[in-house]
Chains A and B, each alone.
Chain A
Amino acid sequence: MNRNLKILIIVVGIGINIVGGALNSALKLPIFLDTIGTILAAVLLGPWLGALTGILSNVFSGIFTNPVLIPFALVNGVIGLIVGFVAMKRGYEDYITPLIIGIILSIAAPLVGSPIAVYVFGGLTGGGVDILYGILLGSSERIFSSAFLARIPTNLVDKLISAYLVFFIYKALPPQWKATAAANKNKEKQGS
């Protein structure tokens, strides 16, 4: 996979993040679905370029639509790193890896995102998560725990759908893309 194709896969990943988020808002779904491009770039290019895709998609959206999205670039970067390392270790060919990735991300993404949301926004983001956050805060009297637990259900559904979507797309890619993808690196070592 030469250097130009790597640059273009990063561009496509950022574009799909932005367009997927816009379609999600247009259909008024309660989940986010704005990290599909990050997971695709991390599977194809490895953890560090996947993290770069995530960070740049939030920075780009922040420059051109709303600067409030820039602090959450850290969450997207962490998602790229985790998916990249898990895909390099296990490959992305079997049906269990997207499940593992979905479960790990549903805990890691709120873990990184809740401190940012609580510190910068008081825990509120203007979406449907605020209702659950208000219920938990009223009953449990703890700010960070209720912000964290309120984000777990939406993140679980969101990351499982994204991981399986990227799995089916990766399965259907032509062999010359898969041969030099980062998710294939350990398979050669295991095969030989």
Chain B
Amino acid sequence: MKNLYVDNINGYWYWPPLKVKFFSLALMLLGIIFSANPLVLAGNLTLILLITLAGGGGTALLSRLKAFVFFGLFIIAFHSVLNPANETMLFIFGLEGALYGSIVAMRLTGIVALAQIALITTPPRKIFLLFSSFHKDLGLIMLLLVGFIPVLQEELNNTSHAQQTRGLAWKNSIDKIRAYLAMIIPVIIKALFKAQGMASLLYLRGYDMQDRHLAKKQLRPLWAKGYRYLSALSIIYFLINVVMFTASKMKVWPI
């Protein structure tokens, strides 16, 4: 299956252990999510982009963010025309709406950039190991899915060809819904049959509860020695953002 991982051993973001990396990225995400101040958000965004470009995975991140630049411009344009808080107008474009749109676009780009850093720098094998450390069955569900979805897509393809051979065609929306139902129902029934077969196979291969903590042993703990600076820096980043957010809410900050 297609995934977002790009192999580059020399980058900084490829070195930390998995839990430290995800914990620090989650804290940075929490720091961004509640900000509503455009200057703070712009500062955050440039900091994140600089970190990524310096730390490996930069070119892949920039190429993935290109689509979001267009979506962000669309958000800014939409809100500058249609936002109810528009007062100072230039033709049909208002200033307050453009400001609101730019805040939303910058926050969205920051969130997407952090998520992409996590996904570009982690091979899928490690992501499934992280799921397994929460509960043993979660990792099995994800791993079965990776193999099961291409089988479902193949079945959908075959069913689509078979139904079209039997005279299925669509022009307007009602026909499209009938065509959707005609194509998805055989796929669901076959998938339920396959589920029963796979459950028996799991039992035959002796899937039980003996190796409960194996995944937990394979991942280094959160306060692993050598990478505590990363967790500390992310906590400081989160606290700075929280201080700025509360300062702007209590009207201490001039903006």
Contact = CB atoms under 8 A, between A and B. Distances in A.
State which size class the interface on A falls in.
35 or more
Interface string B173-190: 100110111011101110
Specify the main secondary structure of chain B where it touches its partner: helix
Interface in B82-116: 82-84, 100-101, 104-105, 107-108, 111-112, 115-116
B84 A9 contact: no
B152 A27 contact: no
Interface stretch (B12-20, B39-47, B137-145, B210-218): B137-145
B101 A134 contact: no
Interface stretch (B193-201, B229-237, B247-255): B193-201
A15 B140 contact: no
B153 A63 contact: no
A130 B78 CA distance: 10
B238 to A, nearest CB: 19
B85 to A, nearest CB: 9
A192 interface: no
A121 B141 contact: no
Contacts, number: 138
Contact of A165 (B181, B194, B195): B181
Nearest to B140: A7
A23 interface: yes
A119 B60 CA distance: 27
A124 B185 contact: no
B149 A142 contact: no
B183 A23 contact: yes
A8 B84 contact: no
B195 A143 contact: no
B2 A5 contact: no
7 tightest A-B contacts by CB? A141-B84, A67-B115, A122-B104, A8-B195, A4-B199, A5-B199, A4-B202
Given A19-B156, A67-B119, A120-B107, 10 more contacts: A7-B199, A12-B195, A15-B145, A63-B127, A64-B1, A64-B2, A67-B115, A121-B108, A124-B74, A165-B181
